[in-house]
Structure 1
Amino acid sequence: MTYATQDDLVKRFGEEMLIQLTDRAEPPADAIDAAVVAKALADTDAQIDGYLLGRYLLPLASTPDLIVDLAKAIAIYKLHRDSVADKIRDDYTDALKTLRDISNGTIRLNVAGVEPASSGASGVRTTDRPRDFTPDNLKGFI
């Protein structure tokens, strides 16, 4: 299951942009190269899964809109071979920041999660050294 599709990228960025980024044929075929897009989307899915792995059960039962949006921002960045427009770079940077926030629990997704590992204890337990001064051995000093 992929988080974003080629159709999602076309709807967000336009067919012309995808043709420019993926058409690597000589002479140019003037068409979107589906294999190039599929590779970028697979790389994007692997990157997102790396952030979600410790917190959510993978594959996700349903894909939240936030993850689809992040996948589109990451995939279009990965499709660039040369220079990247500032907006695309900023969206990519923001996507990675959001994934870090999801990974550390600052942002939560409404999907099944992985239970954190339990220590087996049901409360706080502290151990301290024996007290040198107790009410019994201080009798007569107070």
Structure 2
Amino acid sequence: MRYCTLADIQQAVPLATLIALSNDDPRATAIDLVVIERAVRSSEEMVDANLRGRYLLPLATVPTVINDITVVLTRHWLYARRPEGPELPKAVTTTFTDAMQSLANIRDGKLTIGIPTGEKAPEPGKYKVRAGVKWFNRKDSLE
């Protein structure tokens, strides 16, 4: 399931800006959907990298917080692909930093995404434990 849509991105970025950020041709008049798809995919992978091991992926439903974070990451990706342009707007960098912090908090269990089945996912494979030599037993320590 996609974490955000083109409509979500269009609500966060004005159409003229989105056309300029997604096209290499300055005379373009339409959004380059291939570039938008790459930006969204990159953002979704970043979100998944932080959710992996804590939530079962792919998410069956997309919580609002994940949608919002993905939109912010996508917007930042689109602005950052223009290194020759002016500095990124402060709002873009600030919200990006906040979104990355939110992902870290979700990953560390300090923030929940509101999914009822948000238990930790079991790790694949078996656990193996190796114990050292037993130096004392209970009887020896009581004497």
Which category describes the TM-score, using the shorter chain as reference length? Answer: 0.7 to 0.9
The unaligned stretches of length 5 or more in structure 2 are 128-133
Unpaired stretches in structure 1, ≥5 consecutive residues: 121-126, 135-142
Q: Give the RMSD, CA atoms, in angstroms.
A: 2.4
In 2, the alpha carbon distance for the partners of 1:34 and 1:22 equals: 8
Paired letter, 1:6: L
The structure with the largest alpha-carbon Rg is 1
Tell whether 2:91 aligns with 1:87.
yes
Identify the residue that residue 66 of structure 2 maps to in structure 1.
Answer: 67
TM norm structure 1: 0.78
Q: Which residue of the partner structure matches residue 34 of structure 1?
A: 33
> What is the deviation of 1:17?
1.5
What SS class does the counterpart of residue 98 from structure 1 fall into? Answer: helix
- How many Å separate the matches in 2 of 1:77 and 1:85? 10
| Count of paired positions | 126
In structure 2, what is the Cα distance between the partners aligned to 1:115 and 1:102?
12
2:43–2:74 contact (8 Å) kept in structure 1? yes
TM-score normalised by the chain length of structure 2 = 0.78
Confirm whether residue 101 of structure 1 aligns to residue 102 of structure 2: no
Classify the secondary structure of the residue corresponding to 1:9: helix
Q: Which amino acid aligns with 1:95?
A: A
Structure 1 residue matching 2:62: 3-state secondary structure: coil
Does structure 2 retain, via aligned residues, the 8 Å contact 1:54–1:114?
A: no
In the TM superposition, structure 1's runs of 4+ consecutive aligned residues that sit over 6 Å from their partners are none
